[in-house]
Amino acid sequence: MAMLTITKEFRFDAAHKLFLKDLTDQENREAFGKCSQLHGHTYCLRITITGKVQPNGMVLNFTDLKQIVEEKIIARYDHSHLNELEEYRDLPTTAENMSLYIFKVLAACLKKQKVTLTEVQLYETPTSWATVSHDA
């Protein structure tokens, strides 16, 4: 059976460094290399949802999707220092951890809109990204 999804793309700029609290600076340099130094990315975030097509012809108005993602994620992440955000106090700010957190937050919000979040893709660079998918 065919499955319909819709996707919206967002961008945000943020700074971070990769480190583990329990390691010394030297050990973090050895573990994470250049990424243990503060640096920035223009992140690209793709949000994909599915649901019933409503009488207006839409699963969810892209404008409404934009408002939710901007309020819950972009407003907090854009021009931020990611390591200072509460959710990453004890977690490395990897694409993996960030996409898992974003999925958890948005899945709950989108459920209230009667749609299902099927995929979050977070690109740290154009060649490096993480994908979290909804369990079938």
Ligand X SMILES: Nc1nc2c(c(=O)[nH]1)N=C([C@H](O)[C@H](O)COP(=O)(O)OP(=O)(O)OP(=O)(O)O)CN2
Binding site for ligand X (CB under 6 A): 18, 35, 39, 94-96, 124-125, 127-128
> Of 50 and 80, which has the nearer Cβ to ligand X?
80
Shortest distance, position 28 Cβ to ligand X, whole Å: 13
79: annotated active-site residue: yes
List the strands of the sheet with 80-81, edge to edge.
80-81, 6-16, 39-50, 116-125, 128-133
124: annotated active-site residue: yes
Catalytic residue among 9, 35, 71, 96: 35
Q: Are 31 and 20 in contact (CB under 8 A)?
A: yes
> Of 67 and 128, which has the nearer Cβ to ligand X?
128
> Counting Cβ atoms within 10 Å, is residue 112 exposed (0-12), middle (13-18) or buried (19+)?
exposed
Shortest distance, position 94 Cβ to ligand X, whole Å: 3
Closest CA to 16 of 35, 29, 1, 3: 35
Is 134 annotated as contributing to ligand binding?
Answer: no
CA–CA distance, 100 with 76 (Å, rounded to integer): 16
70: annotated active-site residue: no
> Of 6 and 95, which has the nearer Cβ to ligand X?
95
Is 81 annotated as contributing to ligand binding?
Answer: no
Is 41 annotated as contributing to ligand binding?
Answer: yes
Q: Which amino acids are annotated catalytic?
A: 35, 79, 124
